[in-house]
Structure 1
Amino acid sequence: MKMEIRKVQMTGGSSYVITLPKEWIKSNNIIKNEPLGLINKPDGSLLITTEIKEKKMQRIKEFSVNEKTNDAFLLRQLIGAYIAGYGSIKIKSADKVSLKVRSSVRKFTQITIGQEVVEESDKTIVIKDLLKPAEMPFNSTIKRMHLMVKSMHEDAIKTLENGNKKIIEGIMLKENDVDRLHWLVARQYNMMLQDLDLAEKMDITLTMASTYFLISRIIERMGDHVVRIAKNVQKLTGDRLDKKIKEKIQNASDIALNIFNKSIGSFFRKEIDSSNRNIDSVQILGALCEEINSYATKKSGTIALSVGYITESIRRIGEYAEDLSEIAINSLVNEDK
């Protein structure tokens, strides 16, 4: 794209004027006295547009299905279209839409946020996004994800003592909710890449939206590790694990959660020094996890294996929290210009 340089002139002693490219005027069919929209962008640039009325961009994705359609694959495609930012999804079939396809659509609307079936016939199903992006700001979503993963982690470690299987089931449900929120953040970010005006409406820069997307992806992965911890804790319930190992696992868990909490807190409070100190804590966690594994190897194979998986996931949660602190530092350095 070639940049044109034009000089600003003054008329009437107080008004600044700049001429517009003739080619642009002709291609947009602009006539004399026609109003144009001017938008001040966060980076200091000025956007000139012919769209002076607010218009919601609706991207439509269509999927053709038949009796051989794999329902699991269709579900993945629907989720992909959702994350990509499509405002409307149409499913069509030459024959009657099968029950398994309808089941996949129903599951899709249950595991995503704002997606609803608005039209349905024997041969077509139309799904629309009914959520306004500004109703779910990035910072609120990230804070929710943090609290949910934190609660999941605490519950998983508690199960070492009480062996409550219902707690494990609750962790699995919460993990699904964490996935839903991560998909929403990814969707909103992709929508911004398609429609830069959305960033204006949500009062956020594209750079900051990218930062939130990275954070949500890391927290979602932390949630996966919490589920791994819960599944292995379930194998160790009862008297199969001695008190010393339980205490060390609890200590490692506390350190990992403390790093996680401080990483999120430092990011939102914009404390760059705190983020830096937080990174150093990961070394302490790594040493403790090595100590637990060394002690566990003296136990039976099944116990040693489960403890190994637990400590590895606790260590990975701490390292992911370290990544969050690094993202906070990068973001704050970028703001300090």
Structure 2
Amino acid sequence: METRKIMALGKSSLVVSLPKDWVDSNGLEKGDELNLQVQRDLSLLVKPSLQGQTEGRRISVDIGEDIGSDSIFRIVTGCYLNGYNDIILKSTDIFSVKQQQAIRNVVKSLYLRILESNASSVTLQTLMNESMANLFNGVERMHLITLSMCNDVLKAMKNWDLDLARSVVALEEDVDQFMFYLIRLLRSAAIDPALANHLQIDMLDCLDYQTLVDLIERVADNVHNVAYSLVQIEEYKDSVPVELWEKLIKTTEASMNAYGDAIEVYRQRSVESCDIIIDEQYELSKLTRSITPFPNITVNMPFFYPLFVIRDSVMCIGDYASDIAELTIDKAYKPK
């Protein structure tokens, strides 16, 4: 602990200098603002002001005429996740129609808008304001969308409701948008102490929450796979053995319930309940494996592959529920 003397400035002001290492690590300069908070024990907490630190981050990227749509999506996503507020895409000639469409598609997938645009240059600007962000609400909203997908796809399987299954497929994009938003927030907090203080998290929390967000997104991906496969199977539903379909529904319901329970346990930090979820995963795996080989179904049947995808996706959801439970145990014993 450093000790510093209070010095007089003028007739009535008292000042104390700031440690140089602390100033450098927070990237502070003359004229920057600090937040001062008096604690209950009358100690003084000094934090860099978050406002202004998230402004003005710009990056310019050259896009060659041979750069494809997938590469543009990955480039813009990488810039977005690394905290840039303005992303300037410059073509070495002019953007092709496919490149222009790729840029519009990535804007829809992320919290971005097109600020300026012409034939050879596009400026994208994030709609995200870290100073007003709430990490916990974001994770909760991402989970609620995923949970609604779980409930709807299960209902669609029981009733062969294709419209409901298609709506589940569409919702996966909303989960992805939240995932990108939260990963950007966590990556920024990992290198910005002021943002981390604002979000009330530390470096270890950043790692834990990034793992949780990734697991929720994977659950949503697999629910999407189940819904999409259900749409593919519908025209052959009379050919699917009733006993097999009932087993798939039972397994799906068990996996979806395990995911919901795992998130609830994560909220409560209940280690004892985590053990139950992890142990149940073994029984769920046995139930899933009992479905294979599919009875009276051969590989050349048109509905074989969709059934296989549903079985594997359901098994993955159960695995991710177990992973969330294990993450809860790790977080419960986090050093104070």
* TM-score bucket of the superposed structures, by smaller chain: 0.7 to 0.9
Residues 333 and 165 of structure 1: CA distance in aligned 2, closer, same or farther (over 3 Å) = same
Q: Answer yes or no: is the 8 Å Cα contact 1:6–1:19 preserved in 2.
A: no
Q: Answer yes or no: is the 8 Å Cα contact 1:64–1:93 preserved in 2.
A: yes
What aligned pairs does 1:245-260 form with structure 2 within 5 A after superposition?
245-260=244-259
Q: Does residue 126 of the first structure (1) align with residue 138 of the second (2)?
A: no
Question: For residue 157 of structure 2, what is the aligned residue in structure 1?
Answer: 160
What aligned pairs does 1:1-337 form with structure 2 within 5 A after superposition?
6-7=2-3, 37=34, 54-57=51-54, 58-113=56-111, 115-237=112-234, 238-294=237-293, 296-301=294-299, 302=301, 305-334=305-334, 337=336
SS at 1:293's partner residue? coil
CA distance in 2, matches of 1:306, 1:52: 53
Residues 304 and 85 of structure 1: CA distance in aligned 2, closer, same or farther (over 3 Å) = same
CA distance in 2, matches of 1:104, 1:207: 36
Q: Which runs of 5+ in 2 are unaligned?
A: 8-14, 38-43
Residues 320 and 100 of structure 1: CA distance in aligned 2, closer, same or farther (over 3 Å) = same
Residues 39 and 326 of structure 1: CA distance in aligned 2, closer, same or farther (over 3 Å) = farther
After superposition, the C-alpha distances for 1:137-185 in whole angstroms (9 at most, x for unaligned) are 2222222222222222333333334434333322221111111111111
Q: Answer yes or no: is the 8 Å Cα contact 1:159–1:234 preserved in 2.
A: no
SS at 2:124's partner residue? strand
AA at the equivalent of 1:118: L
TM-score with structure 2 length normalisation?
0.80
CA distance in 2, matches of 1:146, 1:23: 40
Deviation at 1:24, TM superposition (A): 9.4
AA at the equivalent of 2:261: K
TM-score with structure 1 length normalisation?
0.80
Q: Answer yes or no: is the 8 Å Cα contact 2:145–2:175 preserved in 1.
A: yes
After superposition, the C-alpha distances for 1:183-202 in whole angstroms (9 at most, x for unaligned) are 11111111112322111222
Q: How many residues align?
A: 319
Greater mean alpha carbon deviation, residues 156-165 or residues 208-217? 156-165
After superposition, the C-alpha distances for 1:224-262 in whole angstroms (9 at most, x for unaligned) are 222222233334332122332222222211211111111
**What is the identity percentage for the equivalent residue pairs of Structure 1 and Structure 2?**
22
AA at the equivalent of 2:314: I
SS at 2:314's partner residue? helix
Residues 284 and 48 of structure 1: CA distance in aligned 2, closer, same or farther (over 3 Å) = same
AA at the equivalent of 1:252: T
Residues 311 and 88 of structure 1: CA distance in aligned 2, closer, same or farther (over 3 Å) = same
SS at 2:61's partner residue? strand
